Amino acid sequence: MEIKNPDIKVNINEKPAYSYPIFIGDNLLENAQQYISKYSNANKLLVITNETIINLYPNALKLDNAEFLILKDGEQYKNFETYKQILDKALDMKLERKDAFVAFGGGVIGDITGFCAATYLRGVDFIQIPTTLLAQVDSSVGGKVAINTDYGKNLIGAFYQPKLVLADISTLKTLDNRQFKTGLAEVVKYAFIEKTAMCNFNFFEFMGSNVNAIKNRELDVLKDMIKICCEIKAKVVNIDEQEKGLRAILNFGHTYAHAIEKVTNYTHFTHGEAVAIGMRFALDLAKLRKTITDEYYNASINLLSKYALTYLLPASISQDELMQAMMFDKKVVDKKIRFVLPTEKGKVIITSDIEVKNIR
């Protein structure tokens, strides 16, 4: 099979050697061997996946040179114990420097596998085969890899770019509705930031006019949608890989989202649901400060509603708890809470200049 040109090439401005391709399509899994051999010289592959995915795709990635490690399913396994389990397996297989780790799953699998690849023998090839919408539009691109600790989420990690991303969109057919919608929250996020990311896909309009096709998971529309998201993320990461400035715009909605996730112990909402609430919060804050027009505010709320990305906080959560959680976020600098706020369609600003009374 002849390998076509990548759908996207991610380049890192400061590290020209770190360019890598993203392929987005619906027959990638069955041709994975060809893609992997083209972009990696690995003799052996260690494929990390979980019980859910392997049950759904038992024949996927049965490659000549691959061994599998099948993890339990869940965010709670993105931890030190699993990190050790994966590295022990790699050591047991005697993986060498030119060999590769393959992440076959959602963001949990991608994050922990990437962190193992970044640290095993001080770094070996890492291949991302994302299977959730969230992972295809967000976590598999851009090189943030991490594990959780008792002190919080993603506190131990690295910036470590993959060699190759294979986003097989046919895997999205088996995602349950809640997980698909969770991914859509991160998708809609790109509509709010694309112009600040110096892109111009009119993604706000794209999302507004393809609601039914997207909800029905029509593959051609999903492919266009995922490609635009990856283009926007690639553009941001190209300019600012290590979040020293611009990359923070990818956190639109996330300041409040992280607080909600924390006070609800990461159990009540999925990450995307919390981000949807956080985007609404950012819109409300911008409206309160009169930095967006009523017209854009209403259009934005309407876009969130079209995808039913509207949620209520449990009544048991107090304002104080949320304020405290925001104050202890890893992105707080000099006790100032940082927000990404909308200014006009597709544009946001990063600001730490919000009065506590407004946040409350």
Ligand X SMILES: NC(=O)c1ccc[n+]([C@@H]2O[C@H](COP(=O)([O-])OP(=O)(O)OC[C@H]3O[C@@H](n4cnc5c(N)ncnc54)[C@H](O)[C@@H]3O)[C@@H](O)[C@H]2O)c1
Residue 276 class from Cβ within 10 Å (0-12 exposed, 13-18 middle, 19+ buried)?
A: buried
Contact 60, 104 (CB under 8 A): yes
Active site residue 271: yes
Taking the complex as a whole, the smallest distance from the CB of residue 290 to ligand X amounts, in Å, to 31
Give the Cα separation of 134 and 5 in Å (integer).
Answer: 24
Q: Is 136 in the site for ligand X (CB under 6 A)?
A: no
Contact positions with ligand X (CB under 6 A) in 31-90: 50, 52-53, 56, 73, 75, 78
Taking the complex as a whole, the smallest distance from the CB of residue 34 to ligand X amounts, in Å, to 21
For ligand X, the closer CB: 51 or 96:
51
Q: Is 134 in the site for ligand X (CB under 6 A)?
A: yes
- Choosing from 195, 254, 280, 338, which is the catalytic residue? 254
Give the Cα separation of 292 and 349 in Å (integer).
Answer: 11
Taking the complex as a whole, the smallest distance from the CB of residue 121 to ligand X amounts, in Å, to 22
Active site residue 254: yes
Number of residues that bind ligand X (CB under 6 A): 29
Contact 119, 170 (CB under 8 A): no
For ligand X, the closer CB: 176 or 295:
176
- Choosing from 44, 243, 268, 347, which is the catalytic residue? 243
- Choosing from 233, 280, 287, 338, which is the catalytic residue? 233
Q: Is 105 in the site for ligand X (CB under 6 A)?
A: yes
Active site residue 144: yes
Q: Is 154 in the site for ligand X (CB under 6 A)?
A: yes
Active site residue 251: yes
Q: Is 161 in the site for ligand X (CB under 6 A)?
A: no
Residue of the chain from 40, 171, 238, 300 that contacts ligand X (CB under 6 A): 171
- Choosing from 189, 195, 227, 247, which is the catalytic residue? 247
Taking the complex as a whole, the smallest distance from the CB of residue 61 to ligand X amounts, in Å, to 13
Q: What are φ and ψ of residue 122, in 5° steps?
A: 60, 25
With contacts defined by CB under 6 A, name the span among 19-27, 172-180, 257-265, 330-338 that binds ligand X.
172-180
Q: What are φ and ψ of residue 13, in 5° steps?
A: -50, -45
Active site residue 258: yes
Taking the complex as a whole, the smallest distance from the CB of residue 86 to ligand X amounts, in Å, to 15
Length, in residues, of the chain: 360
Taking the complex as a whole, the smallest distance from the CB of residue 111 to ligand X amounts, in Å, to 5
Instruction: Give the contacts of 141 (CB within 8 A, at least 6 positions apart).
Output: 10, 22, 128, 165, 230, 233, 234, 237
For residue 158, give the H/E element and its range: strand 152-159
- Choosing from 78, 163, 189, 258, which is the catalytic residue? 258
* Direct distance between the N- and C-terminal alpha carbons of the chain, in angstroms, rounded to an integer: 58
Contact 186, 137 (CB under 8 A): yes
| CA-closest candidate to residue 48, choices 130, 159, 138 | 130
Active site residue 233: yes
Site string for ligand X, 258-277 (x = CB under 6 A): -------------x------
DSSP class of residue 353?
Answer: -
Give the Cα separation of 358 and 360 in Å (integer).
Answer: 5
DSSP per position, 245-309: SGGGGGGTTHHHHHHHHHHTTTTSS-HHHHHHHHHHHHHHHHHHTT-S-HHHHHHHHHHHHHTT-
Residues with a catalytic annotation lie at 122, 144, 186, 233, 243, 247, 251, 254, 258, 271
List of residues contacting ligand X (CB under 6 A) = 50, 52-53, 56, 73, 75, 78, 105-109, 111, 131-132, 134-135, 138-139, 142, 144, 153-154, 171, 174-175, 179, 182, 271
